[in-house]
Structure 1
């Protein structure tokens, strides 16, 4: 192939983004083709709708497949260019004055024919440079795919951390209202304790917000580091064969270090401070045997997932799945103050609180979550979460380990949950106005593993 024909051939196999021969070429909806790395970087910010960098046509397909024909033609073009180019001085063996046309993968060195037969190399496998270079490009492309996936995962974690920070700040404001409301129902002599409690909350929340901010900064740096490494690998794949092979060992070591770096999300958790005399006050309204026991196979909340807007873990939680133990009150409360305790010690996943209506159908029950005041505990893998419904909100406090107290203050329109062993408030639904009967409710479920 003469130089003009080779030049024309290569121009037809050139990516219009990087102006190099295609690297893992993909073809999008409009028919234009690009290097996969170039297109990934072009679309990295989740551009919607995704458009062609050349004609601006919209691309609907999210998962692009390698254009096998173009990839084979690009390999032939690179090989033809390598055969056409003159050998440089660095490719000549100083000992035998022959071209170093072989690559020893074991030693990561270029060899001439006689050198490859020497004792220190004879037992190793040797490949022609162009073939070894293409195999190295394939290894790089696999590493690049892994790096890009890791970067996308990190972006999801970053989004969750930003959402978690917003949810935590929102929760702290609500937590202050909960504490003030709780002390309003205590003796005035506890005003100093309330002040100390709020000051401790403010200090602890400030420290946690700083940790969240620093963690987001570290993750952002790691994400950008992965992006820069991806760019360097892309540039390396476009290098001449000999330069690519000689740098291969260092590049692979660099990517190995990148894979070892794993960001760890911050799990904010506020201290549950004990409230003086809380248990004595609650016991004045204690009621026993408020639940009627039964077993139901499926539990669901009507119309929506429990966590819609404030889920820091990026999960849309539906309360359904396997068999659950369910119990609810045979009698509903329409006035007064009522307190009861429930032991959830053996269980990781549970729901408790009060609800208006419980509709049963064979082995399924339905609860309208907008007419319920519920506290949820959920274990996903090894992480516990506490959250409430209506409005959906994560509770950034320590998970209770023993009995949980439920206090229904019907006359003041409030429902509160207490950690009995710590003598502390878990959370409260702040005062509203109840206009319907409320029944105690409990659901115990097996752990969720995803």
Structure 2
């Protein structure tokens, strides 16, 4: 390497080993790109070494002999650790000039005017030639051609705010002429201001989700303790019975454990979803931090919309929770299969079950926009009576007609809720929950397949659960107040006689996929025998 004439192979413009050397008519040698840049930037064509002026721009060709020597010397310099030039590593931007000689030298800067990336050596003319100093340099980037307008072959340097896209200067004078446009740099600065708020919002969302994880974990611990407590109560109850009850005891415990496992599985899934969302938000935050410091405005504007869009989520986290106790009546169902001697214990369990459900009582207010024109609502929205005359009300899509029904104002997309309705001595009524998208015009068929989970009374004595098919209910006494409990995640809707504290019917395996609403129908007039209103009553927690 020391035998090579290094000084003679050095360009006097970039002071580096020649790349594609050419010889001027006056006998001096330069890099093809270097002499081209000098002549392009001046109105006078002269030799940078001897200042000889040429009448016209000389037609010069690459000196092949010098090129072979220069390429050999440059390869040695690139491989040398003492050299200022560095070999490009995989994924790094390479110098376009060096690449023309098959050398992979790491680029130091990219020029947005030349649309070329330069190593330290070939960047020298941009630091010494006055006109080249005006060029816009940035950190090395790949695919510089992508920064050109495909239609006008000009640099993308403007941003059309109407169509939210990067355009060239010529675009703003033609098809985007009447559109508000700013420089990409100005738009990038403004976006970075909004990015600050987005980052703060993401951080808030991360904290909320972390808090929700802790809430779920704590509730799961309480749920496990509650399940254990219920198992012990079940054991104490069943051990006092005859040997024939032991099989029922094992069945009850197994069901409790199964539901607890289901809660644990659901909790794991919720935590997993939350952790995934946290990871995604952290990833976006990291990328936003990187974009905040970048000069690559095009990259920022292309990436930003996907980063600041609402993060993907499949749940309403504010309504999602793990409950610390079971509300599925496991022990009640086990005891109900036993002999009449169990009725005293069974009655105790029924009272405890409805007490638990009443803990999830909600304030139900009837929605006048859904009420059939024959329904008379009280001013507080707690009573629905059957009027004799039709009221003049707007015919809107959410109103029931001709079926005499009304819904609550609030619906539920998750969780548990309970409400109770005084039916008094009415001879006709329907109660329950329905999905939001039910058909409200024309005749309806109240079945779970159609989005109805309801119980009804007909002719003062015929009680039916409107399942598929409907089930005739044999009630011991006529209930005066009906309690309705729903568990969205469990897929359960249960009905109770509040005064007698007895179970009426439970829909299980309900497939809720949208909001569900408390549902009421005060029924037909029945020759004046069904004039009492349905009354939503407050929950009394007296045992």
Question: Given the two structures, how large is their TM-score scaled by the length of structure 2?
Answer: 0.37
Q: Which has the higher contact order (CA 8 A, sep 6+)?
A: 1
Would you tell me which structure has more strand in proportion to its own residues? Answer: 1
Which has the larger Rg? 2
TM-score, length of structure 1 as denominator length: 0.43
